[in-house]
């Protein structure tokens, strides 16, 4: 069976990606499980660039296909911040409970119409004998007035989807995966993956 290595250190992403790839005919491993744990410098200026950087960073060390995800939250009221800096925004090691409260505070004067936001996900595949490919998908929503929900990770408790008026942290993983930036990007990239496996 083929091996697919997911080049991420983020446990929330790993859970979602592994759940969605359950039926794919290949063994899905994290970098840690593959013995390839390392810090990868994300010095790109776009989600696509960073996804490619992360996927290609492991290419020299494995014959497996590598999948990488670069994602983040764009808040229109904050001029699309934190964007590609989502992991580093307000401090890399600051707990998300604190970061989410700080964002709510920054948006305290924003009207409902001004609270629009989106999650973006670029996903790349790379490997020794395959041409690197990258896709980008989004989910539109808004920043709520309070943090709600225990599921998911990161900014999920403050990101609400208009269609349901609940945060992505209040959704089950199945519900989030069906509509999320990461779900859409993974479905698009797995179509291409089938062509290289
Ligand atoms: O780079 P890797 O190792 O994959 O892990 P990371 O956490 O640093 O990931 P990114 O560089 O892509 O930063 C994206 C950040 O955006 C946030 N984010 C991305 N997708 C999210 C989602 O589905 N729900 C909540 N927050 C999300 C989350 O805080 C991430 O840390
Ligand atoms: Mg990162």
Tens digit of pLDDT for each residue in 132-160?
A: 999 999 999 999 999 999 999 999 999 99
138, 72 contact by CB (below 8 A): no
The residues, any chain, with a CB within 8 Å of residue 62's CB and separated by 6 or more, are 3, 5, 34, 36, 128
Q: Which atom of ligand 1 is nearest to the CA of 168?
A: 24
Q: Which pTM value belongs to this model? A: 0.97
Measured CA to CA in angstroms, residue 42 lies from 63, 65, 104 at distances of: 23, 20, 27
DSSP-assigned letter for residue 101? H
Give me the percent of the chain exceeding a pLDDT of 70: 100
Taking the C-alpha atoms of residue 149 and residue 157, their distance in angstroms, rounded to an integer, is 6
Of the residues 25, 63, 70, 109, which is catalytic?
70
Do 128 and 59 meet the contact criterion of CB atoms below 8 Å apart? yes
Whole domain around residue 144: which residue ranges?
3-196
Query: Looking at ligand 1, which residue's alpha carbon is closest to its atom 17?
Result: 72
Predicted confidence band at 48 (pLDDT cuts at 50, 70, 90)? very high
Residue from 87, 118, 161 to probe ligand 1 pocket by mutation (most atoms less than 8 Å from CB) = 87
Rounded to the nearest whole angstrom, what is the distance from the C-alpha of residue 113 to the centroid of ligand 2? 30
Q: In this structure, what CATH number is given to the domain that contains residue 181?
A: 3.90.950.10
Which ligand has the minimum distance to the alpha carbon of residue 51?
A: 1
* Ligand 1 interacting residues, C-beta cut-off 6 A: 8-10, 13, 42, 69-73, 86-87, 119, 152-156, 180, 182
Nearest Cα residue to 169 out of 19, 10, 12? 12
Count of domains in the chain?
A: 1
Determine which residue's CA is closest to atom 29 belonging to ligand 1: 154
76 catalytic per annotation: no
Measured CA to CA in angstroms, residue 175 lies from 71, 179, 183 at distances of 19, 7, 10
Give yes or no for residue 13 having a pLDDT over 90. Answer: yes
Pick from 8, 169, 6, 17: nearest CA to 96: 169
Around ion ligand 2, which residues have CB less than 5 A away?
87
ipTM, two decimals, is: 0.99
pLDDT tens, 68-119? 999 999 999 999 999 999 999 999 999 999 999 999 999 999 999 999 999 9
């Amino acid at each position: 069976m083929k091996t697919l290595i997911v080049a991420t250190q983020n446990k929330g992403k790993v859970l979602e990606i592994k759940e969605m790839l359950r039926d794919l005919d290949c063994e899905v491993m994290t970098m840690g499980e593959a013995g390839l744990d390392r810090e990868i410098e994300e010095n790109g200026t776009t989600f696509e660039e960073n996804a490619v950087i992360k996927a290609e960073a492991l290419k020299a060390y494995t014959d497996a296909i590598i999948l990488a995800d670069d994602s983040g939250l764009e808040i229109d009221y904050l001029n699309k911040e934190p964007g590609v800096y989502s992991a580093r925004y307000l401090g890399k090691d600051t707990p998300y409970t604190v970061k989410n409260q700080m964002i709510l505070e920054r948006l305290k004067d924003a009207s409902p119409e001004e609270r629009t936001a989106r999650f973006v996900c670029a996903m790349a595949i790379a490997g020794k004998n395959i041409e690197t490919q990258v896709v980008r998908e989004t989910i539109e929503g808004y920043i709520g007035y309070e943090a709600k929900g225990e599921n998911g990770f990161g900014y999920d408790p403050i990101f609400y989807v208009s269609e349901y008026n609940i945060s992505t942290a209040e959704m089950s993983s199945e519900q989030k995966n069906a509509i999320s930036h990461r779900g859409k990007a993974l479905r698009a990239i797995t179509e291409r993956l089938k062509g290289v496996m």
